[in-house]
Amino acid sequence: MPARRRFIALKPVSSLLFPDAGKPLYTARIAVFPKDKFFQEIILPKHILLRLLCLLPAALPALAQAATTSCRIPDFPQEVRCGRIQRPLNPAQPDGKKIDIHYVVLPSQDRNKLQDAVFLLAGGPGQSAIKVAGWGQTALSRLNRRRDLVFVDQRGTGRSAPLQCPGLENSAEVLTQEQNDKLSAACLQDLQRLPYGDLRYFTTSISVQDLEAVRLQEGYGKINLVGASYGTRAGLEYLRQYPQAVRRLVLDGVVPPSMRLPAADAQKALLALFADCASQPACNKLYPDLARRWKSLQAGLPRKIELLHPRLGQPLKLEMTRDILLGLVHKTLYVPANVAALPYALTQAGQGNYAALLTLSGATVLPGPAGIAYGMHFSVWCAEAYARPDSGQHKDEFESMMSDMYARTCRQWPRGEVPAAFFDIPRSASPVLLLSGGIDPVTPTRHGAAVAQALGPQARHISVENAGHGLLMHGCVRDVVYRYLNAKEDSEAQKVDAACVRQIPRPLAWQAYVAGKEGQP
């Protein structure tokens, strides 16, 4: 059934027709459509009309429900509300080409519902928020008892004018840089043929305006936002543009607007793993001198290898290059549980067996439709990372590899305009909770600390020593976020106890724990 939308338009009635001095009359024109296309005009005195208008805010959530339909989404058993809103592709041309922004509302089930909904901002850039709504509800289920959870597919993702590159997203191969370049160029041509194929209008600054339009359509007042990875950048930009609409903000794995490459701390994370293994007798016995072995592994490349594809079970032949190796390790470094198996995988690779490393790397990446829309990814990253000059100084091998990959793709990719103010982090009048993992190779602690300082005294930064990228996977952190957002007063939220994060352990190197137990009774 098509969505029903209600509108109320007001206009003054001529005093010549109603000459009652001191009591001007207005008409209220009420429209319900598209189904019945019915208009009803009533004439009311101004003082009565003003009283009715005061009642509108309380009625807005009910009106918003009329703009959505019941639907079902993957990984979530109950019916939810699906909505969409039409938005201009180019905000400077509101009457120009339009795109549909799709969103899902997971309604609160409590009769005593709170009106400050929670919006979850997905990562990537390029991840569909709706595709991860099932996981998001699991992570924020306690908040969902009394608050709506809202998942908006950012323009370019999911069903919101998607910018997908199937060749890059669905490839079962390990791609060389040349193959990546070829697929990126082909995808660019395909995307530019789309009705919404002007890729300059998919930046973060434009996307958060869509988010605000959804908030207004749903009739929410101040909202809470939970951003993960790139979603933290979107959260900061929303805060900059619409500070009056933010109740509280949670940033998990902080991506500041100034961040250029998602690899600046990969080398640091890898060296920390080597040092950690060396400090554990069992790990050091099984995998001695990992730093030297790592250098030796790179020195032996390129080399041709053959193995069974770890996901498809089919024979795979490729030339393993240094860039491919760095890319595989970089993906693995995201998740500490996978990092724990990296000493074993690198040792196996040194013996010519890359199956374990390919398996670990693949386990970190979301496959298929839940993954990244690379057309949107490059439309955002190329515009924002290259809006300011690059120093060209890349300190380590991971930075150099990633810089070269993005430079080659972004050289051909259309770039939208990024306002200078985008790079300014505003002082926040609303509480902001920032979460960082101590061994995060992408969004390290220093990013969270710098952003917290810029945000001012309303910001609180929590660094978790043994955590990697994305802290909401930890039950302790979920509890902290729940209590932070659920607190009635801002002062209460800022005092939420987060001592449990110090108890989060770092996984021991795979097989090392078993080896350490050998010989014990």
Is residue 124, in this structure, part of any structural domain at all? yes
Whether 66 contacts 6, CB under 8 Å: yes
Give exposure, 178-204, as e/b (b: 16+ Cβ within 10 Å).
eebbebbeebbebbeeeebbbbebbbb
d(CA 462, CA 368): 33
Nearest to 319 by CA among 179, 176, 181: 176
Backbone angles phi and psi of 362, in degrees to 5: -65, -30
Judge if 488 and 456 occupy the same domain. yes
Tell me, yes or no, whether 117 and 251 share the same domain.
yes
Main-chain phi, psi angles of 372, to 5 degrees: -100, 135
Of residues 132, 197, 139, the one with CA closest to residue 158: 132
Do residues 444 and 489 share a domain? yes
- Check whether residue 108 and residue 165 sit in a common domain: yes
Q: Which long-range contacts (CB under 8 A, 24 or more apart) does 343-348 make?
A: 343/273, 343/277, 343/283, 343/286, 343/287, 343/290, 343/509, 343/510, 343/512, 344/286, 344/287, 344/509, 344/510, 344/511, 346/287, 346/290, 346/293, 346/294, 346/297, 347/286, 347/287, 347/293
Q: Residues near 239 by Cβ (< 8 Å), separated by ≥ 6?
A: 225, 246, 249, 426, 428, 430, 432
248 and 99 housed in the same domain: yes
Residue 320 lies in a domain: yes
Q: Is residue 250 domain-shared with residue 361, that is, in the same domain?
A: no
Do the domain assignments include residue 390? no
* Residue 270 lies inside a defined structural domain of this protein: no
pLDDT digits (tens, 9 = 90+) for 361-395: 875 544 444 589 999 999 999 999 988 877 666 66
Measure the CA–CA gap between 225 and 246, rounded to whole angstroms: 8
Domain co-membership, 9 together with 121: no
Q: Verify that 461 and 492 share a domain, yes or no.
A: yes
**What does the alpha-carbon distance between residue 11 and residue 212 come to, in Å, rounded to a whole number?**
27
Is the distance from CB of 88 to CB of 125 less than 8 angstroms?
Answer: no
Among 301, 332, 367, identify where a domain stops.
Answer: 367
Which domain covers residue 184, as residue numbers? 68-260+419-503
Inside any domain, residue 294: yes
Supply the pLDDT for residue 464.
Answer: 96
8 Å CB contact between 183 and 375: no
Task: Report the C-alpha gap between 470 and 136 in whole angstroms.
Answer: 13
Sheet holding 432-437, edge to edge: 68-71, 80-88, 98-106, 149-152, 118-121, 223-228, 246-252, 432-437, 459-464
pTM: 0.85
* Tokens of residue 460, six digits: 């609180």
- Residue 127 DSSP label: B
Structural domain includes residue 515: no
Residue 222 lies in a domain: yes
Last residue of a domain, one of 367, 385, 407: 367
* CATH number of 469's domain: 3.40.50.1820
Beta bridge partners of 99: 87
pLDDT of residue 65: 52
Residue segments in the chain with a per-residue pLDDT below the cut of 70: 1-66, 170-173, 263-264, 363-370, 391-395, 510-521
Task: State how far the Cα of 414 lies from the Cα of 199, in Å rounded to an integer.
Answer: 6
Q: What tokens were used for 63? A: 């009106």
Residue found by looking up tokens 């929303």 in the block: 238
- Kindly state the tokens that stand for 174: 């390990």
Are 152 and 233 members of one domain? yes
Residue 293 and residue 319 in one domain: yes
Of 361, 371, 332, the residue nearest 175 (C-alpha) = 361
What's the gap between Cα 337 and its chain centre? 21
Region of residue 171 (left: phi > 0; alpha: psi -120 to 50; beta: else): beta
Same domain? 88 vs 35: no
In a domain, 378, yes or no: no
Facing residues of 372 across strands? 127
Residue 166 and residue 373 in contact, taking contact as beta carbons nearer than 8 Å: no
Tens-place pLDDT, residues 76-116: 888 999 999 999 999 999 999 999 999 999 999 898 999 99
pLDDT of amino acid 512: 55
**Whether residues 330 and 243 fall in one domain:** no
Which residues sit opposite 459 in a β-bridge? 432
Domain count of the fold of the chain: 3
- Taking the C-alpha atoms of residue 441 and residue 262, their distance in angstroms, rounded to an integer, is 8
Could you tell me the CA-to-CA distances from 146 to 71, 115, 118, 132, 294 in Å, in that order? 20, 9, 10, 20, 51
- 398 Cα distance to chain centroid: 23
**What pLDDT is stored for residue 9 in this prediction?**
45
What is the DSSP pairing of strand 68-71 with strand 80-88?
Answer: antiparallel
How many residues can be counted in the chain?
Answer: 521
